[in-house]
Structure 1
Amino acid sequence: MALQKRREAISWALYDWANSAYATTIMAGFFPLFFKQYWSAGASVTESTFRLGIANSVASLVIVILAPLLGAIADRCGARKRFLLTFATLGILMTALLPWVAQGDWWLAVVLYVLATIGFSGSISFSDSLLVFVADKPEYERVSALGYALGYLGGGLLFAVNVWMTLSPQTFGLTDAAEAVKLSFFTVAIWWALFTLPLARYVTETDGSGIGARAAVVAGWSQLRETFREIRALRNIFLFLIAYWFYIDGVDTIVRMAVDYGLSLGFDSNSLIVALLITQGVGFPAALAFGWLGSRIGARSGIYIAIAVYIVVVIWAAQMEHVKEFYLLAVVIGLVQGGIQSLSRSLYAHIIPADKSAEFFGFYNMLGKFAAVLGPVMVGWASAVSGSPRLSMLTLLILFVVGALVLRKVDVDDGAQYAPRR
């Protein structure tokens, strides 16, 4: 890989390092915990779970609606990076405002969280679309895996400091754990902004047509409609997206609801945070290993391995009784979480046309987030109706099984005819 291309690839991968602080500290870690115990103080366990599920679903629904159209517009005017930075700025600013939400103001916390998550998810859609510009085709698996590996490492490092702050607030001159959590939200915003700068400085993309904003909207909408009409010709892309829609629903729901699930089982909050740290620590080398594995046996085979592990995880989680089992599950999830995400991204990059990468990654993230519209609501609803969080966890089995079955129908070699030429 040439020096310039390597610098672009590393700068692009560092955006995973940047935004993973939000995914780890906010989405998976402190927000569900703080939301249940501080912002939803006095509400029942099932009620707070339902509120959190709705918040995640609303944020995902917005991305479902916007991502493909904005992707098509970005393709036409060469604005993938500009859209990325716009969404990132929204996420950073909303995250920075979370510390100011008072106890009991769960509705305001939800509003800021939804907007921050829209910024986070929207920026990732455009970051994914830049993969075809920062790496040559034979390097997709390794570069994609590098991004996820750095994400686990960076997100884990900041999360470790944030956990230390909450366990020993006096060490940092703070009065209590609640103040430490609020400061942690602010450190995420700073981290996210700081490590977005290399991408803003060094990553380049192929210029679009140079048309104005209004013309780009019209052209983008036209391109989007054309892609819908062509979907039969792009059968392998369509099948892959459906498969991804199902299995990534299971993955994302586990990420977003794991802490809430552990609290519902009566596990200590500090133990759950330690489990998340374990996942981050294991995830860094595991993501790199999956990148190597994908380049050897193929991305789809690597995804199958990860899905099989997730099926075991769901069955195990529905029966676990002790917090030590939660720790073991954290290790197992860490082994495959980054792998299934990175290999899905690289496999998709192989089968899409480069000149429509933002639009097609818009569809990719649209279906992934649309799945996340249903997943958390499904878990929250099942928990509320049955009164059993264990039963709600078992509903995720359907998603992984259906995803694997549809993925079998994807002809990766045939789909390569749509891949970018380099």
Structure 2
Amino acid sequence: MYDWANSVHALVIVSSIFPVYFSATILKAYGSPMMEFMGWTIKSSVLFSYTVSLAFLVTAAIIPICTAIADNTGTKLRFMKFFCYLGAVSCLLLYFFTKETISWSIVLFGMSLVGWSGSIVFYDSYLPEIATEDRFDRISAKGFSMGYLGSVLLLLFNLSMILAPSAYGITDKAMPARISFLSVGIWWMAFAQIPFKYLPKVAPRANRGRYFLDGFRELRKVYQHIQKQPYLFKFLMAFFVYTMGLRTVMYVATIFGASELRLPSDSLIITVLLIQLVGIVGSFTFAWLSSKIGNIFALMVGVFVWIGICMGAYYTTEAMEFYILACTVGMVMGGIQSLSRATYAKLIPEGVEDVASYFSFYDVTEKLAIVTGTFVYGLVEQVTGSMRNSILALLVIFVLGMILLYQLPSQTRYQYEFTEE
């Protein structure tokens, strides 16, 4: 149900309505994609990529401290709530996004990303506590599917306002999008109360203090243990690389369609809606595929498809080609994410007490991958002036991810002995 609650942020704010509204507002305010931000002249699509990079860099920096406090005091759920409300309130405040408040709205967008990504760290760490290993793949896939379904329902409502504002008595063309941002914050906070009520409480560890240092010590300790687990270490290397490409595509796809292909706003939003619907099937397809050929081989299939997506995107010039690519993205997007989370949960050594610290390491790895991927994408576009060259950079990243995955055996279950040092 937390997937159901928070996925509206990924769909409405990150992937569909906000990027379209953002681009349109910049054009209205400046007459071109170039804009002023805190005394810096920059292309709006590049600023979008850099904002995502900075938000996830901030998350990666503060999460070790937060997980250390959560482990020592048994307040994991409290931290999950804090980041949830930070993200949701930021979305509520985006209601005031106009051409007069562009700079502040970009900051709010970044804060919403920090809130979303921070809450996911603690959310992910609950998986081993609420399900047995034989159910990891299916439970993880079910979470992503619930997220797709919930976010689609809210997007349909928002899309109806955008396409037929008069039916709601709305005359201001910008108002439907702003109401959409408001609805995300309300939806997110409201449905989050269900998991907040039912998720188990975690017993505190001995309170050692020095939380700032403890958080990074825990990460170093986890890293030292991971180095002794060859499969786990190699998997995280591969995960870091292919996540650089995967999550970057998720964050910039709509901007690419709006800026490079000049697709109309309603077409872009409908395309994202289609991705979510296909993604429901994709999540369960990859869970089924992993049961037949193993987790690693299933992930390799997904990464191979992403390589094809990047090749197709580089040559895409027509709307129909973009829509076909979007459907393909939907099939592999959630499937790889859910399977990656389940694979990592299986690889965590048995007997580990600090599960939150292990998932903190996983999520910090993911956040740094997003930082690197979105920064590289934005930098290549800024230097070369073309998003298509950025797509080629992502293609190279996916190929490297495939090579790293190939070094792992495709087993669906891994057992390790774990001894606390």
TM-score, with length taken from structure 2: 0.91
- The alignment status of 1:366 with 2:354, answered yes or no, reads no
Contact 1:236 1:412 in 2 (8 A): no
Cα 1:217–1:374 shift into 2, 3 Å: closer
Shift in alpha-carbon separation, 1:419–1:27, aligned structure 2, 3 A: farther
CA contact (8 A) 1:72 1:224 kept: no
The corresponding residue for 1:351 is: 347
Shift of 1:238: 2.4
Partner of 1:392: 390
Contact 2:49/2:375 (<8 A) preserved:
yes
1:304 paired with 2:291, answer no
The runs of 5 or more residues in structure 1 that have no matched partner are 1-13
Normalised by the size of structure 1, how large is the TM-score?
0.91
Instruction: Report the Cα distance in structure 2 between the residues aligned to 1:89 and 1:44, rounded to whole angstroms.
Output: 35
Q: CA deviation at 1:161?
A: 1.3
Which piece of structure 1 moves more, 351-360 or 15-24?
A: 351-360
In the alignment, structure 1 residue 237 sits paired with structure 2 residue 232: yes
Moved more, 392-401 or 117-126: 392-401
**Distance between the aligned counterparts of 1:39 and 1:320, measured in 2?**
25
Amino acid corresponding to residue 13 of structure 2 in structure 1: I
CA distance in 1, matches of 2:230, 2:363: 18
Q: Which whole-Å deviations, capped at 9, do the CAs of 1:225-280 have from their partners, x for residues lacking one?
A: 33344443133322222211111111111111011101122222221111101101
Q: Residues 220 and 395 (structure 1 numbering): CA distance in 2 closer, same or farther, change over 3 Å?
A: closer
1:248: which partner in 2? 243
- Cα 1:173–1:347 change in 2 (3 A) is same
Question: RMSD of the TM alignment (CA)?
Answer: 2.1
Q: Is the contact made by 1:149 and 1:284 (CA closer than 8 Å) also made in structure 2? A: yes
Partner of 1:114: 110
Deviations 1:83-112 (A, max 9, x none): 111110110111110111331432111111
**Aligned in 2, Cα 1:103/1:194: closer, same or farther, shift over 3 Å?**
same
Indicate the residue corresponding to 1:191 in structure 2. 187
- Return the match for 1:278 from 269, 274, 295: 274
Instruction: Select which of 43, 66, 73 maps to 2:69.
Output: 73
Q: CA deviation at 1:205?
A: 4.4
Any gaps of 5 or more consecutive residues in structure 2?
A: 35-42
Equivalent residues in 2 for 1:321-360 (5 A)? 321-353=317-349, 354-360=352-358
Distance in structure 1 (CA, Å) of the matches to 2:32 and 2:354 = 47
Q: Which residue of 2 aligns with 1:22?
A: 9
Partner of residue 154, structure 2: 158
Q: In structure 2, how many angstroms separate the alpha carbons of the residues matched to 1:326 and 1:357?
A: 41
Report the counterpart of residue 127 of structure 1 in structure 2.
123
CA contact (8 A) 2:241 2:397 kept: yes
Q: Give the structure with the higher percent helix.
A: 1
**What is the number of residues matched between the two proteins?**
406
In the aligned structure 1, how far is the partner of 2:182 from the partner of 2:58?
24
Alignment-derived partner of residue 47 in structure 2: 51
Question: AA paired with 2:389?
Answer: L
Q: Cα offset for 1:206?
A: 4.0
The 8 Å contact of residues 141 and 339 in structure 2, kept in 1 or not, is answered as yes
The question of 1:33 aligning with 2:20 is answered yes
Moved more, 407-416 or 392-401: 407-416
2:132 pairs with one of 136, 143, 150: 136
